[in-house]
Amino acid sequence: MLSPITMILRGYNQNEVACVAEVLLNSTYVKNMEITMNTENALEIIEFISNEYGEKLNVGAGTVQTFSELEAVVKAGATFALSPRMMTPEMLAYCKRHNILSIPGAFTASEIADSYYQGGDVIKIFPANEVSISYANKVKEPMGNIPLMAVGGINASNVFEALEGGYDYIGTAGGLFRKVDIKNKDKNAMMESLKIFETEVARFFNKK
């Protein structure tokens, strides 16, 4: 099962991703690592990180747009798959058969409903920063408690507001760690950023 926050890694090499994994081992709320398919050597990185950290972190794949890509990431060891767009019924069924958490992308109410009722486990609202941060609550009012993930523009300054606005999950690329800190493999700097981000997440869950 997913933790509330997913760290999205796009364009980083294996050593840099492994450094992020080492930092996230200390996390309470960020236990999901997404390696995007438009990263060089993405499949090799997914396989390595899954083998090294898969017992303590949830390792998944992002930017999965085709059935062949989905097959490849599952073979590499991904336990969840995200797409920036709706997944086909064939892809959603494949995820069910292989016990892979599916997170198709959607934007409108109709896309959200179609993806969810065709078998999507969590529906990714992308790009979430193009609508109000309370969009999730507005969708859930008439449609029920569909599990939604906000991806796009979420950082430490607005993650509390996003969770309070009805999102069950958050995916963030540049909103958690600074790119320069990942590139420099600066664990101390990343730990400080993690502490700030998780303080805001904890503020939401402690309030419930």
Contacts of 33 (CB under 8 A, 6+ apart): 6, 7, 9, 17, 20, 21, 24, 49, 53, 57, 58, 59, 60
End-to-end CA distance of the chain: 20
- The radius of gyration of the chain from alpha carbons, rounded to an integer in Å, stands at 16
Q: Which pLDDT score is estimated for 94?
A: 98
pTM: 0.96
**Measured distance CA(87)–CA(5) in Å, rounded:** 21
Q: Which pLDDT score is estimated for 88?
A: 98
Residue 45: name the closest of 26, 85, 72 by CA: 72
Adjacent-strand bridge partners of 59: 33
Residues 65-93: pLDDT tens digits? 999 999 999 999 999 999 999 999 999 99
Residues 181-190: pLDDT tens digits? 999 999 999 9
**Measured distance CA(98)–CA(174) in Å, rounded:** 30
In order, the DSSP letters of 4-15 are SEEEEE-S--HH
Confidence of residue 207 (pLDDT cuts 50, 70, 90): confident
**Measured distance CA(125)–CA(193) in Å, rounded:** 24
pLDDT over 90 (residue 208):
no
In order, the DSSP letters of 17-28 are HHHHHHHHTT-S
Asked if residue 105 lies in contact with residue 92, where contact means CB atoms within 8 angstroms, the answer is no
The conformational region for residue 41 under phi > 0 = left, psi -120 to 50 = alpha, else beta, is: left
Q: What percent of the chain shows pLDDT beyond 70? A: 99
Q: How many helices (H) and strands (E) does the chain have?
A: 9, 9
